[in-house]
A and B are shown apart, each in its own frame.
Chain A
Amino acid sequence: MHISISAEPIFHIGSFPFTNSMLAAWLVFGILSILAYFATKRMEQVPKGIQNIFEYIIEALFNLTNGIMKDRKLTKKIFPLIATFFIFILLNNWMGLIPGFGSIGFHETNAEGKNVLVPLLRAGTADLNTTIALAVVTVITVQILGITAIGIRKYAGKFINFSSPVNFFVGIIELVSEVSRIISYSFRLFGNVFAGEVLLAVMSTLVPYVIPLPFYIMEIFVGAVQALVFTMLSIVFMSMATVAHSESH
């Protein structure tokens, strides 16, 4: 059994390696776009079917965001990003559980001369590139929100503060934590999803029938929890960034 920690390229476009996780991410992109199109194609005041489902999801996410932000105007600003995080991550996590992901592919001789199976599809979130990209988007948004909410001088004052040695040191720590957030964010999501996939692969190899089932159920749960954790943390950081640092802190 071969498990690769990185996504494997399935073909190259020039020097650009098109990986299996990229293909899955595009698949999610396509499915979501089509669903969104049909959900709002014929909007009705009394919703039915797919419109109803999306209304429910969006309203629940909006209320969740608004519950933390406690500012309807700000919520409206960040909501599209938050909702997309949740839906995109959730679908990617769950897609990885569909049979065929990781098992359908082609054989290739790797650098070590071994014949390995390169899966055609791999969950988007089981690739560090995706999770880091998401984390970077979050951190950049947090900075922009902070600057627009309390002004660049005050916001920069959070990190660069010469009022006292303690404050200066706290500022440095804040700055480091801002950067480390990218790492903690991306690795948490990647680690959970990738570990889940490895677990399932191992279990399925050891006992192909029945036994992997509880693990599948657990992974469905983990997928939802990780999507929620990423989303919630994003909302919390965004809401924190919009509040000026109090002097007593």
Chain B
Amino acid sequence: MDALHNLGVDPKLLIAQGINFGLLLFILYKLLYRPILKILEDRSKKIEKSLENAEEIEKKLVDIKETEKEVIGKAKGKATEIISEAREAIEETKASMIKDAGIKAKKIIENAVDEAEKEKLAILAEVKNEIAGVVEKSVIAFMEADYKNVNLKLTEDALSDAKKVGI
């Protein structure tokens, strides 16, 4: 023990240094180690999570791209279908329209022919009346003017004229 004393070892100082160290340990634990270890752990957890998230995002992106391709493919198919259907429909409509137009044209022509026929008949009737009128008037005039000198030949001529016209 004497040797230790010569080296300056003093139990009082030894204990004091021990307490000093213990106190430092406590303060550093509270102020330094605990908060820093916590933040380090938090950070590594966060990084782990972000890496996981990134992987997930990548997977989702691949999925989305695949779905996109699928959807686009489907849409293309459908579009072609719709276009061909539309074409068919147009074709059908065109044919039916042409048919309708033909029928209508025919009808119009028929109507026009009928109308012309009617008109013709009406004109003929009118002409008949008018000629009859003229004949009557001329006969009357002739008879009133000089019935005694009636020339039979004239009457015959008038009648033949009328026949020429087609009455």
Chain A contact residues, CB within 8 Å of chain B: 4-7, 15-17, 19, 22, 25-26, 28-29, 32-33, 36-37, 39-40, 43, 45, 47, 51, 54-55, 58-59, 62, 76, 79-81, 83-84, 87-88, 124, 127-130, 132-134, 136-137
How far apart are the CA atoms of A124 and B17 in the complex, in Å? Answer: 9
Q: Is B8's CB under 8 angstroms from A127's CB?
A: yes
How far apart are the CA atoms of A39 and B31 in the complex, in Å? Answer: 8
Closest B residue to A51 by CB, please name it. Answer: B36
Contacting residues of chain B (35-88) with chain A, CB-CB under 8 angstroms: 35-37, 39-40, 42-43, 46
- The contact sample of 28 A-B pairs, CB cut-off 8 A, is A5-B6, A5-B7, A7-B8, A22-B17, A28-B24, A29-B20, A29-B27, A32-B24, A33-B27, A37-B31, A39-B36, A45-B39, A45-B43, A47-B39, A51-B36, A54-B36, A55-B40, A58-B36, A58-B37, A79-B37, A80-B29, A80-B33, A84-B28, A88-B24, A124-B17, A130-B17, A133-B21, A137-B21
| B46: chain A residues within 8 A (beta carbon) | 45
Q: Is B25's CB under 8 angstroms from A36's CB?
A: no
Q: Is B36's CB under 8 angstroms from A128's CB?
A: no
| B16: chain A residues within 8 A (beta carbon) | 16, 22, 129
Q: Is B7's CB under 8 angstroms from A43's CB?
A: no
Q: Is B21's CB under 8 angstroms from A84's CB?
A: yes
A83: which of B22, B33, B43 is its contact (CB, 8 Å)? B33
Q: Is B32's CB under 8 angstroms from A6's CB?
A: no
A88-B21 contact, Cβ under 8 Å, with A83-B28, A83-B33 = yes
A128-B8 contact, Cβ under 8 Å, with A39-B36, A80-B25 = yes
Closest B residue to A186 by CB, please name it. Answer: B9
| B22: chain A residues within 8 A (beta carbon) | 137
| B14: chain A residues within 8 A (beta carbon) | 129, 132-133, 136
Q: Is B18's CB under 8 angstroms from A133's CB?
A: yes
A26-B39 contact, Cβ under 8 Å, with A5-B8, A33-B31, A83-B33 = no
Q: Is B9's CB under 8 angstroms from A129's CB?
A: yes
How far apart are the CA atoms of A226 and B40 in the complex, in Å? Answer: 28
Q: Is B18's CB under 8 angstroms from A136's CB?
A: yes
Chain B nearest CB from A102 CB (Å) reads 15
B10 at the binding interface (Cβ < 8 Å)? yes
Apart from A15-B12, A55-B40, 14 more pairs, CB < 8 Å: A6-B6, A6-B9, A7-B13, A22-B17, A25-B17, A33-B27, A39-B36, A55-B36, A127-B13, A127-B17, A129-B8, A130-B17, A134-B21, A136-B14
B23 at the binding interface (Cβ < 8 Å)? yes
How far apart are the CA atoms of A26 and B17 in the complex, in Å? Answer: 9
Closest A residue to B33 by CB, please name it. Answer: A80
B32: which of A29, A54, A136 is its contact (CB, 8 Å)? A54
How far apart are the CA atoms of A102 and B20 in the complex, in Å? Answer: 22
| A137: chain B residues within 8 A (beta carbon) | 18, 21-22
Q: Is B13's CB under 8 angstroms from A19's CB?
A: yes
Closest A residue to B18 by CB, please name it. Answer: A133
A87-B28 contact, Cβ under 8 Å, with A6-B7, A62-B37, A79-B33 = yes
Chain B nearest CB from A142 CB (Å) reads 16
Q: Is B40's CB under 8 angstroms from A58's CB?
A: yes
| B35: chain A residues within 8 A (beta carbon) | 40, 43
Q: Is A40's CB under 8 angstroms from B20's CB?
A: no
Q: Is A29's CB under 8 angstroms from B24's CB?
A: yes
| A37: chain B residues within 8 A (beta carbon) | 31
How far apart are the CA atoms of A137 and B35 in the complex, in Å? Answer: 24
